Amino acid sequence: MEDNYIKSIDSTSPLLGRAAVGDTVVSINGNAILDVLDYKFFAYDRELDVVLRRPDGTQYAVQVKKGEGGDLGLDFGSYLMDAPRACANACVFCFIDQLPRGMRRTMYFKDDDARLSFLLGNYITLTNLSQREVERIIALRVSPINVSVHTTNPELRCKMLRNPRAGESIDIMRRFAKAGIVMNCQIVCCPGLNDGEELKRSMRDLEAMWPAVHSVSIVPVGLTKFREHLYPLTPFTPEHAAETIELVEGFSEECLHRHGSRIFFCGDELYLKAGRELPDEDFYEEFTQLENGVGMHRLLETEFRSALKLADEPDGVDFTVATGVSAAPHIEKLLHLAQESFPTLKGRVCAIANDFFGRSIDVTGLVTGGDLIAQLKGRELGGRLLISQNMLRRQEMDFLDDVTLEQASRALGLPVYPVECDGFALCDAMFGVLPELRTPVREETEEQFYRYNQN
């Protein structure tokens, strides 16, 4: 059966009783419906002529009136109404290639689908777009999209992505810019490859596409211990992280004078590696690159300070906050701020070293349940353990190594609370206003699958 068949019809759908489960949407207002982008774009209007096809091949038309932008209330055979586009690259820094064997299947799926970029914010390389798809993005004004650039040097991009078509993508970006398609970009910076002078070149080329290139994050490559037979890469040292920050900040300051926007921002991880204070809140402008870890800790602190002004006395229960090694000093700073205002607040911060992926991986989102248990079991933890929600799959409530939240709680002998990456939520949890522990959903939807596997 085709991916765009109707799987269910919502009770509020204007097509309820007029279309049937199993039918296929052929066209809307004369426009062929090939996937979810066509469907969402052409179903936007108030009055629609919808042509559907029954399983026996016969077609029929239905006229629909609804609110502008209102949903038709149809659920299809697949989220995209089409097969997902897998990545056609073999990037030298690909994190998925650095995973151990035996993990859940979702961990090994590499998407590179422009539709997921628009709908869910996934980052794409543009290397598997056909000419028709490029033209459709422009015609439908699919915007904004998120682009993994890495370098604007065509030859170097082919080398880094190990795809002979990789260099063509920069011209596609220029076409998008000319058409007014907004792009948020990322550069995974690899020492000795796309840093230094190459990074300067990339920033100059991307600045030339402003304002279509709205923001660019520069984040350090993540290297696990599972790199046998892979391209030789080296991690950032504190000194090189500091040099890269100075390079990017210097160029972004020039952009601020020329355009009123910095455009280019380093990920928090670079500042933490360099041992530098994060810039002030105003530096991050709209916080456009939060999903790439740009300004996340600064916003967390700003929200936490605001929450402290509203906080009541703590509930008196001792607690522990478990976090990644790189974030631990920042979380400790927030805890000390709270204790200065509320001396009765009892808590501690524990940094969890990443033995699963290797000690060079020190971000909170990649802490596994096994490491959490191994490093905290038998220690004094108080009455509750707080962890970042980013450690878990949101629906299934399990860690990257398939250890469930329930198993971690049972092994450690106390309740474990996942806390949103939000200063107000963190402050509440420290003071005893705890998030509700949700019942895990063992079967993730297709949309959740794609959300969890953003590049």
Residue 434 lies in a domain: yes
* 130 and 279 within one domain: yes
Among the three residues 293, 310, 332, which one is the final residue of a domain in this structure?
293
For the chain, report the end-to-end CA distance as a whole number of angstroms.
29
Residue 90 lies in a domain: no
Domain that includes residue 396, residue range? 299-452
Distance CA 269, CA 326 (A): 7
* 179 and 45 within one domain: no
Distance CA 338, CA 421 (A): 17
Residue 372 lies in a domain: yes
Among the three residues 76, 111, 131, which one is the final residue of a domain in this structure?
76
* 201 and 55 within one domain: no
Best-predicted range by mean pLDDT among 40-54, 95-109, 148-162? 148-162
Count: domains in the chain: 3
* 349 and 206 within one domain: no
HSE, side-chain direction, 13 A CA sphere, residue 141: 4
* 265 and 161 within one domain: yes
* 207 and 263 within one domain: yes
- Helix (H, G, I), strand (E, B), or coil: what is residue 86? strand
* 289 and 308 within one domain: no
Residue 82 lies in a domain: no
Residue 12 has pLDDT above 80, yes or no: yes
Q: Give the distance from CA 75 to its chain's centroid.
A: 24
Among the three residues 273, 293, 313, which one is the final residue of a domain in this structure?
293
* 431 and 445 within one domain: yes
Distances in Å between the alpha carbon of 256 and those of 123, 220, 262, 283?
Answer: 25, 23, 5, 10
Residue 113 lies in a domain: yes
Distance CA 286, CA 283 (A): 9
Residue 417 lies in a domain: yes
* 31 and 153 within one domain: no
Contacts of residue 369, Cβ cutoff 8 Å, sequence gap at least 6? 391, 398, 399, 400, 401, 402, 403, 404, 405, 407, 408
Residue 38 lies in a domain: yes
Distance CA 321, CA 367 (A): 13
Distance CA 151, CA 168 (A): 12
Q: pLDDT (tens digit, 9 = 90+) per residue, 220-250?
A: 999 999 998 999 999 999 999 999 999 999 9
Q: pLDDT (tens digit, 9 = 90+) per residue, 289-331?
A: 998 999 999 999 999 999 999 999 999 999 999 999 999 999 9
CATH of the domain at 48: 2.30.42.10
* 131 and 106 within one domain: yes
pTM score, whole prediction: 0.87
Eight-state DSSP code of residue 16: B
* 187 and 122 within one domain: yes
Residue 171 has pLDDT above 80, yes or no: yes
| Residue 448 pLDDT grade (very low, low, confident, very high; cuts 50, 70, 90) | low
* 251 and 104 within one domain: yes
pLDDT at 455: 41
| Residue 449 pLDDT grade (very low, low, confident, very high; cuts 50, 70, 90) | low
Residue 442 lies in a domain: yes
